Structure 1
């Protein structure tokens, strides 16, 4: 609330993540993706407010108190791969000691040797090198810190894994390995659930990396200016018929292996949103109808969706 003004960082967001499913949440920087993740975990700043409902089983995360969040949710019900791992790792302790403590706290593993082996296995799952386990966070590169944080997030086998930019600082091979491990985490749980052993795990991955999203996601949610503007099956979104929202299509067309055409203009400030559709000032398909805010209906919030590559513009669209 800068200057005493309330700013809605995330508004009217509705989605679910099923056991055995990966939902990729994508959008430009500043659209509210990480704010949403912080709200689910009760990690918003003290001057922030959240409203609504976010159920994990029978527990409403939005109304849960700090004691419940710290003792029952974080790590146990929701595993977090943070956007800034260096800020979440304890700077005065080695990666090994932090991983072993997490193993002891979140699993049934007991005994020094067993805990040590489990910590080493967790590091291996996240491609964290064993010979770096005795290093402190400040001795790690950004990519290694990211892998350490991923290892910690996987330890508890939480029902929901929330990965906020989990591939930051990684080269392409490690990106693929990391998202494959996250996918395996979900798929193994889904197989266990089918066999009657466990109830499955879901993954909400927040990412700018559309190639990683395409590799791992079952569904895609696109956020713009604090709102979800499209929810789609990942195969249809990245393949045919492609995205239906002009913004979503613009994100894909900006990729180097596609048209490599940037979306014109800049995203609006969340404290100074235009009336109606927030994307209208940047949209070639915008018309007078876009002065009214489009609701999210059947997975789409747009007055003039793209029906295909050559879909005609509305008659009163801006040139």
Structure 2
């Protein structure tokens, strides 16, 4: 099979995946304008699709642009942000989809956030009002989304808590009375109230011990298995390995590799040198750190941003590599034996 045949086959698979996707992202770019005319390219040309019942883990070092990407999908970027590309969110059954980047604030607030996209935030306790109980948070969210009667709101709040495995006996507690794991379940319950088809979990395991991390991501996986699409944004590779179907690796604002999780974490391993380095840095693997420091997003090189740290870099890496077969690299690693 020739290279042209391979590329056409991959394009056909990509088109088929996009057609049946809950979320289809093409060329998503986020740039921040700073004083003095400086710019920060936080996300550059991100492409991926996410289907119902699927978990895509977006991984990478802190500061690589993962959370900015999530904020762009929800329309929660600051005023100095400029965006381009398309982020098509599938509509209700038989309904038209919505380009989240093109939608105005009224559309996002009334028809998207909470209803079609649920957010499970990082540090959930910081997103809960300290003087209100969990029940009060849930009922207020039900009222905002559905406007039902007081009795119906109470029943809907208790149902959401049950779906998130939040104990009914803790509903009348305040955020400071909850453990980290229970606060995370409360945040998940809030995200589930609108029965959103897409869940964005932005670093949902920060500050939790290993046992709570496993329980939290298992709970998120259960909701994906019920038919929701789950975008898990994390730097915890063990959590990604536990529940992800596919892995997208981000470096300096760019997605440099997208691979099935079984291959990424399996014996053959990832093919991008940075992705390979992430795995090799884990304590249960080679425990070898990636040399050097990440490039500043305000001063990215013209070519491959990872080249200054890459042992495989050549003069060719002075030009930006185009993604081929899911890997944006001029010199991808060969699969391990």
The yes-or-no answer on 1:2 pairing with 2:34 is yes
Q: Quick one: structure 1 residues 124 and 175, their matched pair in 2 at CA, closer, same or farther if it must change by over 3 Å?
A: farther
Q: Does the 8 A contact of 1:143 with 1:168 survive in 2? A: no
Q: 1:75 & 1:31 partners in 2: Cα distance? A: 26
Give TM-score scaled by structure 2 length.
0.82
Structure with bigger RCO (C-alpha 8 Å, 6+ apart): 1
Q: 1:134 & 1:111 partners in 2: Cα distance? A: 16
2:83 corresponds to: 50
The answer to which of 279-288 and 32-41 deviates more is: 279-288
Displacement of 1:171:
2.3
1:177 corresponds to: 215
Q: 1:107 & 1:236 partners in 2: Cα distance? A: 43
Q: 2:226 & 2:187 partners in 1: Cα distance? A: 21
1:194 corresponds to: none
Displacement of 1:231:
0.5
Q: Quick one: structure 1 residues 109 and 243, their matched pair in 2 at CA, closer, same or farther if it must change by over 3 Å?
A: farther
Counterpart of 1:183 in 2: which secondary structure? helix
Q: Does the 8 A contact of 1:107 with 1:155 survive in 2? A: no
The structure 1 residue matched to 2:140, chosen from 90, 101, 120, is 101
Displacement of 1:215:
1.2
Q: Does the 8 A contact of 2:115 with 2:194 survive in 1? A: yes
1:166 corresponds to: 204
Q: Does the 8 A contact of 1:167 with 1:175 survive in 2? A: yes
Q: 2:45 & 2:159 partners in 1: Cα distance? A: 40
CA displacement 1:103-133 (0-9 Å, x = unmatched): 3444697552x54344234334434444443
RMSD over aligned Cα atoms: 2.0
Q: 2:56 & 2:147 partners in 1: Cα distance? A: 29
The structure 2 residue matched to 1:81, chosen from 111, 120, 130, is 120
The answer to which of 211-220 and 139-148 deviates more is: 139-148
Displacement of 1:138:
4.3
Q: Quick one: structure 1 residues 26 and 78, their matched pair in 2 at CA, closer, same or farther if it must change by over 3 Å?
A: same
The yes-or-no answer on 1:209 pairing with 2:248 is no
Q: Quick one: structure 1 residues 108 and 19, their matched pair in 2 at CA, closer, same or farther if it must change by over 3 Å?
A: farther
Give TM-score scaled by structure 1 length.
0.87
Q: 2:212 & 2:178 partners in 1: Cα distance? A: 16
Q: Does the 8 A contact of 1:125 with 1:181 survive in 2? A: no
The yes-or-no answer on 1:279 pairing with 2:295 is no
The structure 1 residue matched to 2:45, chosen from 4, 9, 12, is 12
Which structure 2 segments of 5+ residues have no match? 1-32, 91-96
Q: Quick one: structure 1 residues 240 and 55, their matched pair in 2 at CA, closer, same or farther if it must change by over 3 Å?
A: same
The structure 2 residue matched to 1:263, chosen from 290, 296, 300, is 290
Which structure 1 segments of 5+ residues have no match? 190-200, 311-319
Counterpart of 1:7 in 2: which secondary structure? strand
1:314 corresponds to: none
Q: 1:260 & 1:126 partners in 2: Cα distance? A: 36
Q: Does the 8 A contact of 2:122 with 2:205 survive in 1? A: no
Higher strand content, 1 or 2:
2
Q: Quick one: structure 1 residues 214 and 107, their matched pair in 2 at CA, closer, same or farther if it must change by over 3 Å?
A: farther
